[in-house]
Amino acid sequence: QVLSHNLYTVLCIPHDPVALEEHFRDDDDGPVSSQGYMPYLNKYILDKVEEGAFVKENFDELCWTLTAKKNYKPDQNGNSTVSHQDAFKLWCLFNFLSEDRYPLVMVPDEVEYLLKKICTAMNVELNSCELDDYLSQEPQGQVGLTVWQFLDMVNSGRFLRGIEQEAISMAVEEVYQEVIEDVLKQARSPHVLGHKPCSAPTPVLISVSGVQGYLWKRGQLRRNWSERWFMLKPSVLSYYMSEERKEKKGSIVLDKNCCVEVLPDRDGKRCMFCVKTSSRTYEMSASDTRQRQEWMLAIQTAIRLQAEGKKSLHKDLKQKRREQREQREQRKAAKEEETQRLKQLQEEKERKLQELELLKEAQRQAEILLQEEEQRRRQQHEEMQRTLEIQLREAEQARASMQAEMVLKEAEAERQRKRILELEAMQQGLEEALQQEVKARQDEEAVRYAQARLLAEEEEKLKQLMKLKEEQEEYIIKTQLEKQVLKQEMENKNKCLEEAQKQLEEVRVNRQRVDQDVMAAQRKLRQASTNVKHWNVQMNRLMHPIGPGDKRTNTSGGVFTGYQPILSQRDSSLK
């Protein structure tokens, strides 16, 4: 409840304690886990958040409070390199520069980028070799640093050795305003450079992300000149009474239609320039030409971001750095792939050379074997030629005997052709008898179907008769008390019963007539079976095998053996 209440407060959405009670009504026995709280957080809190309706810094402070107590471990003796507030700002910078996947990690390139910016803000050079040594000690397979590893690394003092905590704090504040608050231009405090502060306005230095500093501004109505503390962000140029930014005097909304121009010196003011918007023109004066040039470049950068539709310069730079890392990784992968491919090609070349040597050796062995094979084949050819001559003489003798045998076979074939013609005529007669039998069977089936239909009608009539009888009995029981009133209805029922009995008698007569038709069809079937038997007897007389007078009796007799199974099959089907 406390966590939800704080989230409702910092995200500026209406409190809904009832929803919390309703959501956990069925599961309020034990502590709530992260997995159990996430559905409620997404549905009732995060889904209701509107972009720009809450202060991002307050939300960051709440998240830092929730996580730092358990995970952040500064030096217990108070010798930490950064203060608790600076650790919070570094935590915010880490979240901004980390990769867009959970758990959040910051790749080594982004770690080096952030440390370089902090060192640059203090005019200190980062020791990249020492940073590489530190990152190389991370566990194998880890792609970057977690936020707590990063804070431990900063607190270790290895990279900010010999620098006062106040200078580190101011440098972190400068980078925080530049990256998180999108301040496109800011004044470099003399404390960071190791100088004493003076009363005169400090020079303003262009930074990659934010601008702050004193400028003289001319009023619109009174036309007097006033010194104001200006702070430039990508979408707006705000001005305050002083650098504490407690009293805001106004702001200039920047868009793609705005422009910056140099103005000539007048009214005792020098290094003048103006910012033109669609509604009015703002006149300002810088302390020197360099400061004017820096402010104009910074404002033009903000206008360019608005024209390109970009809300944050550092988000764009972060995306570009990520794309550059991806391109480097792709080039590295391509280079490794090319190296691997070249290595494979070299191995393939060596393997092919070995195979070539083996092929040459195999070719020499093959030539020796070929010569031996040629000599052996020549000997086999001579032996085969002698064998073929012997077989040719034997074939001539066999040819003469085969011609004599062919004359006998032709005479026998002529006799077999005549016998086939007789059998074909007999088969045709048998097929006609079979067709007559099939027709008789079809007639019988039609009569049987009619008989079945009449039986079904008879059964239906019997059911109707039984139903009428049951109704009659019911009427008889009911009409014991109303006999005189229902007498006429009983007569009608009796008439219906008599008509049903007549119809039943007609159905029975029809059934007898169908039975007679079935008997006639059976007689036709018996007559057809008699005809088939007669033809079978005739066929059996003609099926005695012919005894040839040579050695190939079985082969020639096989011409007629194919008819016997056909006739036997048809005889069995007729039966």
Cα separation, 163 vs 156, whole angstroms: 13
- Predicted confidence at residue 188, as pLDDT, reads 46
Q: What is the largest CA-CA distance in the chain?
A: 151
Q: Which residue would you say has higher pLDDT here, 283 or 568?
A: 283
Q: What is the CATH number of domain 212-311?
A: 2.30.29.30
**pLDDT mean over 443-472:** 89
Q: Which residue would you say has higher pLDDT here, 262 or 205?
A: 262
**What is the crossing angle of helices 108-121 and 165-179, to 10°?**
120
First to last CA, the chain: 97
pLDDT at 211 over 80: no
pLDDT digit string (tens) for 494-508?
Answer: 888 888 888 888 888
| CA proximity to 258, closest of 292, 238, 235, 230 | 235
**pLDDT mean over 470-496:** 81
pLDDT at 557 over 60: no
- Predicted confidence at residue 368, as pLDDT, reads 92
Domain ranges of the chain: 1-180, 212-311
- Predicted confidence at residue 572, as pLDDT, reads 54
pLDDT at 331 over 50: yes
3-state per-residue secondary structure call for 10-44: HCCCCCCHHHHHHHCCCCCCCCCCHHHHHHHHHHH
3-state per-residue secondary structure call for 125-167: CCCHHHHHHHHHCCCCCCCCECHHHHHHHHHCCCCCCCCCHHH
What DSSP line would sit under 480-497, residue for residue?
TTSTTTSHHHHHHHHHHH
Q: Retrieve residue 107's tokens.
A: 């790749």
* Cα 561 → chain centroid: 69
pLDDT digit string (tens) for 147-192?
Answer: 888 888 888 777 776 677 788 888 888 888 777 776 765 544 443 3
Average pLDDT, the chain: 80
Hey, which residues does 186 pair with through a beta bridge? 205
Backbone angles phi, psi at 127, to 5 degrees: -85, 95
pLDDT digit string (tens) for 44-84?
Answer: 888 888 877 888 888 888 888 888 888 888 766 666 777 88
Give the number of other Cβ atoms within 10 Å of residue 477's Cβ.
9
> Which helix or strand (DSSP H or E) is residue 418 part of?
helix 313-478
Return the minimum-mean-pLDDT range out of 8-17, 21-30, 165-174, 500-509. 21-30
pLDDT at 140 over 60: no
Give the number of other Cβ atoms within 10 Å of residue 86's Cβ.
22
Report the share of the chain in percent with pLDDT over 90.
Answer: 8
Q: Which residue would you say has higher pLDDT here, 26 or 37?
A: 37
